Amino acid sequence: MRAIILAAGRGSRMKHLTDERPKCLVVFREKALLDWQLEALRTAGICEIAIVTGYKRELLLDRGLVEFYNPRWAETNMVSSLACAESWLKAEPCIVSYSDIFYTPAAVRSLIECNAKLAVTYDPNWLELWTRRFGDPLLDAETFRLSEKNTLLEIGNRPTSVDEVQGQYMGLLRFTPQGWSEVERIRGDLTQEQRDRMHMTGTLQKVVEGQRLTITALPYRGEWGEIDSIEDMAAYI
């Protein structure tokens, strides 16, 4: 199995920390975020790893990774960056990881062992972490509702209460060629402007609404985090 790390964006909410480097090279606990991801992926047994680059790409070319470059990184969202790696996504199952998160090999292994066409990891104990990060957890939360079979019913909308959030989507997921084909079908019905604006959770919600395939949600209770701002650096100490 292969893995793709999405690292095209700058991460402007990190302010001066990304003036001279992409967000994935920001140091957290004495190690670049990218190194946290590479360590987890490789420990879980994944040897072929690609990175989708954009901002400051030259700083990411010496790590033995396959590069997919998004020349329109400043104008497009994450799904457009992922589409730059479509040759891998069409060929075999791929783990897809955001570049501003950290997690353990156990999260990766759960995805490797899953046989669903499309699967995401999520944190069922999200509330304490989001309260620590934001004070009011609903300031940044998105809906995440599950069926009794742990398939997604809703993701990515604005919740009105914590009851609509059964877990926190982590930014770590698994696509099979069939799963990616459904995303391509959805994108094919959109204008270029709409495709450029599509973010990942909105795309997953479109997959749910299309009812052509189900998205399996895998609970993960190990250590993980999202570093989205300078303030987040202190939230995980």
- Whole-model pTM? 0.96
Cβ neighbours of residue 127 closer than 8 Å, sequence gap 6 or more: 137, 162, 165
What local confidence, expressed as pLDDT, does residue 109 receive?
98
What local confidence, expressed as pLDDT, does residue 235 receive?
83
* pLDDT confidence band for 91 (50 / 70 / 90): very high
How far apart are alpha carbons 15 and 85 in whole angstroms?
28
**Quick one: what percent of the chain has pLDDT higher than 70?**
100
Residue 188, pLDDT > 90, answer: yes
How far apart are alpha carbons 125 and 237 in whole angstroms?
18
Q: Each residue of 96-113: pLDDT tens digit?
A: 999 999 999 999 999 999
**Quick one: what percent of the chain has pLDDT higher than 90?**
90
* pLDDT confidence band for 194 (50 / 70 / 90): very high
Q: Each residue of 21-51: pLDDT tens digit?
A: 999 999 999 999 999 999 999 999 999 999 9
